[in-house]
Amino acid sequence: MLNNKKCWIWGAKTGGIATANVVERMFSANIVGFIDNDLEFSSRTILGKKIYSFVDFKDKFDAKEEVLVLAPSQFLSEIKEMAVAGGIDPVNIVDAYSFLGPSYEIDVVNSCNLKCPTCPQANYPNALNPALMTVDRFKTYVDKILSDTPNVYYIDLFCWSEPFLNTKLAEFVRICKERKIACFLSSNFSHEANLKDVVKQHPDYLRISISGYTQKIYGIDHVGGDINLVKSNMYRLRSYIDRYSPETYVEVAYHLYNYNKCDVDNVKRLCSELNFKFAPFTVTLLPVERLVDYKEGVIKELPNDTISRLAYDLNGALNRLTPVDFEMCCVAKDMVTVLADGKVLVCDYCFDKTRSVVSEDFLSVRFTDIVGRKRSNEVCLKCRKYGIPIVVNAITDLQGKMRERLEAD
């Protein structure tokens, strides 16, 4: 399909970055460049290739020699229509969904230094067992992933944990990069981490999670965090990226609550100064097991002091849901979550170390078997029965609307 082809990738965010790695790894294709109409990307490069607007791309595209690959996007149909309307023959367009495989989340440490109330690290009793991923085990996991699913989309080096707590994090990034697998990180940045060593290994994407600009606002839900330390680390990160890894894409995920819009402008200014992407992030209460137990009547109410701070009505959403088919939940069928001790969770929105585990040992089970076990897992069945994946999708849509509104202000 794409063997030894010259390819343009539409998408310069995480989807485009990951797709480009798959195209190079699987098809030995030559990436010509990237397309994204977001002007913030005009000065960036990915894999050493420039990013163009669609208008500029059209003048450079050679229909006889080149192929346009559309990276996964919630706007995929609109992008395809734009490409065709702009004169690109559908014969020259390839939908990346046709060849991309699953994504993996590998939690490199089953712990976090903060206790955010909406996160199960703080609010759920049946917590994960403390564990620390070793370099040898991680290498074995990645080799197993490539053997089992050679079209692996990307690897997240986090789930419910703070990955920088593992001092071997730079080695994990290096292993992914050597194998041409896109590598993504997420951190609260409220720690004395060795950022330099990690950045020198060229992670593709790093998300920084914050919920305020002042300690008074930030400390309400990032419990135990220090916003001044976060800001200091952000400046250090900018310096290291400029020096060692200019292609690393950084987003600042601003957790939206109903009380913290007052700090948005200051965070946006900080992002602009550091050339990081400001990315509003709508928070919900997790894990899924708690929402399932609430719908089942096992627990009578959700923690009001927490859900009253959310940016939307969680109780109202849960009461308006309808059942969801397994194939409609991308997290269930396209994502594998592996904990630092080797257990495999039914999905990355779950946390219970007993009822949400579909395998005790990642190395002993193939991807197809993991998917089969997910289908029959009690938590997964009840989650879909009560339509809880709709809450996640609705939050994603809400995030997009909030982002547009806040970026326009």
**Shared domain check, 263 and 176:** yes
Are both 317 and 380 inside the same structural domain?
A: yes
**Residue 164 sits in the same domain as residue 27:** no
Exposure string for 316-348, b = 16+ CB within 10 A, e = fewer:
ebbeebeebeeeebebbeebbbbbbbbbbbbbb
Query: Do 135 and 226 reside in the same domain of the chain?
Result: yes
Q: Are 92 and 68 in contact (CB under 8 A)?
A: yes
The answer on 110 and 77 residing in a single domain is no
Q: What is the pLDDT of residue 328?
A: 83
CA neighbor of 212 nearest in space, from 313, 150, 276, 281: 281
pLDDT at 169: 98
Distance CA 189, CA 270 (A): 15
Q: Token pair 């149909």 is at which residue?
A: 77
- Residue 1 belongs to some domain of the structure: no
| 138 in the same domain as 49 | no
123 and 80 within one domain: no
Res 394: pLDDT: 57
Q: What is the mean pLDDT of each run of 10 residues along the chain (409 residues)?
A: 93 96 96 93 92 95 96 91 95 96 96 95 81 97 98 96 97 98 98 94 98 98 98 98 97 96 97 96 92 95 95 88 87 92 95 93 97 96 91 56 53
Going across the sheet that includes 49-52, the strands are: 45-46, 49-52, 30-35, 6-10, 66-70, 93-95
Distance (Å, rounded) from C-alpha 362 to C-alpha 344? 6
Q: What CATH number is associated with residue 306?
A: 3.20.20.70
Q: Is residue 215 part of a domain?
A: yes
Helix H or strand E segment including 134: none
Partners of 93 in the β-ladder:
68
Read off the CATH number of the domain in which 28 is found: 3.40.50.720
Residue 220 placed within a domain: yes
CB 64 within 8 A of CB 5: no
Give the pLDDT of residue 398.
47
Q: Report CA torsion sign: 17, 19, 25, 30.
A: negative
The reply to whether 159 and 276 lie within a common domain is yes
Q: Report how far residue 75's alpha carbon sits from residue 68's, in angstroms, rounded to the nearest whole number.
A: 16
Residue 392 has a pLDDT of 65
- 51: which residues sit within 8 A by CB, 6+ positions away? 12, 33, 34, 35, 36, 41, 42, 44, 45
Last residue of a domain, one of 98, 124, 144: 98
From the CA atom positions of the chain, what is the Rg in Å?
21
Query: Which of the listed residues 98, 129, 154 is the one where a domain comes to its end?
Result: 98
> Which pLDDT does position 125 carry in this prediction?
80
- Residue 201 within any structural domain of the chain: yes
> Do 94 and 235 have their domain in common?
no
Residue 269 lies in a domain: yes
Token pair in block for residue 166: 């593992």
Domain check: are 160 and 23 in the same one?
no
Residue 300: how many other CB atoms lie within 10 Å: 7
pTM of the model: 0.94
Q: Which amino acid is at 361?
A: D
Domain extent, residue 302, equals 103-408
For residue 257, give the nearest of 364, 402, 393 by alpha carbon: 402
CB 67 within 8 A of CB 20: no
Query: Does the residue 319 lie in any domain?
Result: yes
Last-in-domain residue among 53, 70, 98: 98
- 401 with 273, same domain: the answer is yes
In a domain, 169, yes or no: yes
Please report whether residue 402 resides in a domain.
Answer: yes
Does one domain contain both 113 and 82? no
| Adjacent-strand bridge partners of 252 | 208, 278
| Number of domain units in the chain | 2
∠ CA 231-398-390 to the nearest 5 degrees?
120
